[in-house]
Amino acid sequence: MVVLNGVLYYINGGDGRLWALDAATGKTLWRLKSPDGYSFKREINVMQGDGERKGYVLTSTWHGACAYESER
């Protein structure tokens, strides 16, 4: 799990999806299946934005790397 700008990002081992939760409320903001149909690996990192741009959530599947724009 990792937090960026009040959003908790994690990969659920049960369904293999990438989740984003509001860290203050626990509300699910979104969840994604991997683009290649395989489960995401459990490693997850974030890259902070520069003020004008949002950051990124970085992870991978067993077949490739993935980068998603952060929620905030």
**Mean pLDDT calculated for residue range 38-66:** 91
What is the mean pLDDT of the segment spanning 15-36? 94
Per-residue pLDDT, averaged over 27-44, amounts to 91
What pLDDT is attached to residue 37? 83
Instruction: Please state the rounded mean pLDDT for residues 13-20.
Output: 89
Arithmetic mean of pLDDT over the chain: 92
| CATH architecture designation of domain 2-69 | Beta Barrel (2.40)
Domain boundaries defined on the chain:
2-69
Q: Is the pLDDT of residue 25 over 90?
A: yes
**Alpha-carbon distance values, 68 to 14, 24, 25, 59, 60 (Å):** 21, 21, 22, 9, 11
What is 25-72 written as a DSSP string?
A: T--EEEEE--TTSSPEEEEEEEE---SSS--EEEEEESS-EEEEE---
